[in-house]
Amino acid sequence: MEISSLQKARYEYTPKLPEMLRNGIADISVKEGEATQSVADQEQIKALFPNTYGKKEIVFQAGKNTSEAKKHAVGVILSGGQAPGGHNVVCGLYDALKSTNPENELFGFKNGPSGLIDDDYLVFTDEYINEYRNTGGFDIIGSGRTKLETDEQFAIAVEVCKKHGITAIVIIGGDDSNTNAAVLAEYFASHNTGIQVIGCPKTIDGDLKNEDIECSFGFDTATKTYSELIGNIERDANSAKKYWHFIKVMGRSASHVALECALETQPNICLISEEVAEKKMSLSQIADYIADSVEKRAAKGMNFGVAVIPEGVVEFVPEFSVLINEINELLAGSKADEFNSLPTWNDKYAFIEKGLTKESMEVFSILPQGIQQQLFLERDPHGNVQVSLIESEKLFSALVADKLAERKAARTYNGKFGALHHFFGYEGRCAFPSNFDSDYCYSLGFNAFMLIQYGYNGYLSKISNLSKPASQWVAGGMPITKMMNMERRHGEDKPVIKKALVELDGKPFKYFEANRDTWAVETCFVYPGAIQYYGPSDVCDITTRTLALEKE
């Protein structure tokens, strides 16, 4: 296989570990802290997780390793969407295993949780794993979105583990995957299987965090990748001086990615979904907000700009949420077939007009026709609108164009408005990890083995103090149940890890809020450039602006 010079150089990069993990595994001891409780719904969560609830948080420190000396066979699973650094979690886990005992084995279950059920695996070797160190992607074993949630699946998992002598499973995933990890851990404990489950916090969306998990892995690299691209576009806009660029970035439930990219690049506009919901902003109000920036910049002779749009923002617009619900009802059951059988869009439009309330029809009618059709063409397996497929960047540029046309007619605006559209999503999920994510992920994997060695089950690998140099990071673990609450899913109350949304009273948003009025009118663009891997630490090892502001 031909490799690039950067890839070859990255194979040889040695990730930095927290000081206490560098001592040698024989000299790492554990310090137990306080017992924990779930973030909400304590009685319900405790009843669902009687064997794994309320356990203590732990921290690793220098001292004699008192864990039982035995051979370990561990399975690892990559679950859900890709995030930069996943390979290094596996590498850190492998290195810790092998440094303890060369006879230890690491099984990689292929293509996500289904690999465990199908007994589809490989056994890692030095030669194999060395080809993936410090590289992006999840192609080391592949990933998948199969959920492990039924007793039948759990029983098969036990059989597969016993067949290979596996006594621990590490699940690398986001909030849903780690919720599954907690449920699996509880099953293993309640059936006295002797098999442990450890989770690792992954998601580029940045919404798997709390007082314990300062940052999910992949967020740093993905936002740096998007910010480089946004900076490039800003520079192009400032050079050509003739286009407004509407840029959608990943992040359906939370706007952490959009906010971080705004802090990195200082665009003229950045929408924050959580603020849209808090202020109950309508589509018209959002369009006016953007149009105000366009008009003020045009008055200064600047008919160009950049607007960053979170992927899921339309779901946070109250009137749009009502519209989506009505459309879901309108096409429920056999009505979908009736709608799809109509021969023309005009016929379908009449069907829609008859079925929606007056208020929702008013919202629907202002949407560009392309967006209207998207709402009816793509359905998820449950028959619902796939909101993530809505091209919100095109929606808002079209609504802004309408607003500007009204202002032109009223003679309050006399500029030129040409819009270009971008969506940055998959570009960031498998990028070469930054030094931060390379170090963080390697530490998470190494630390996961320490949790296994000391016998913990239903814990999340936890590395904290992340705004400081890696040598000052703190390694430990926390029960996954601490992060859980009850939520309504598909008509049932389910225990799930609580998603972390952008906090409107948090320091990152407050900094953005204090500066955005200036950015909206002036050209304050920042050009972050490409991720740097070699050179001064303040260039190569910096973390996100979000984390730096939170830990000020």
Alpha helices in 49-197 (DSSP H): 86-100, 114-118, 126-129, 151-164, 175-190
What does each C-alpha distance from 442 to 15, 29, 84, 504 come to in angstroms? 7, 19, 12, 32
Query: Do residues 158 and 21 touch, judged by C-beta distance below 8 A?
Result: no
CB atoms within 10 A of CB 483: 28
Tokens 């959009």 belong to which residue? 258
Q: For the sheet containing 269-270, what is the strand order?
A: 269-270, 305-310, 244-249, 419-424
Residue from 205, 437, 439, 541 carrying the catalytic annotation: 205
Phi then psi for 409, rounded to 5 degrees? -65, -35
Query: Do residues 207 and 501 touch, judged by C-beta distance below 8 A?
Result: yes
Rounded (5°) CA angle 443-161-181: 50
The residue type of 333 is G
Tokens 């669902």 belong to which residue? 48
What does each C-alpha distance from 248 to 263, 493, 518 come to in angstroms? 16, 32, 22
Phi then psi for 108, rounded to 5 degrees? -100, 115
CB atoms within 10 A of CB 372: 17
Kindly state the tokens that stand for 207.
Answer: 């919404």
**Strands 484-489, 492-497: pairing kind:** antiparallel
**How many whole angstroms separate alpha carbon 433 and alpha carbon 319?**
39
Q: Which helix (H) or strand (E) holds 340?
A: helix 335-340
The total number of residues shown for the chain amounts to 552
Phi then psi for 157, rounded to 5 degrees? -60, -40
| CA end-to-end span of the chain | 45
Sign of the torsion formed by the C-alpha atoms of 113, 117, 119 and 120? negative
**How many whole angstroms separate alpha carbon 19 and alpha carbon 21?**
5
228-232 long-range contacts, CB within 8 A, separation 24+? 228/528, 228/529, 228/530, 228/531, 229/422, 229/424, 229/427, 230/261, 230/264, 230/265, 230/267, 230/306, 230/308, 230/424, 231/264, 231/265, 231/525, 231/526, 231/527, 231/528, 231/529, 232/527
Please spell the DSSP secondary structure of 180-191, one letter per residue: HHHHHHHHHHHT
Query: Do residues 510 and 94 touch, judged by C-beta distance below 8 A?
Result: no
119 classed as catalytic: no
Query: Do residues 531 and 227 touch, judged by C-beta distance below 8 A?
Result: no
Residues recognised as catalytic: 205
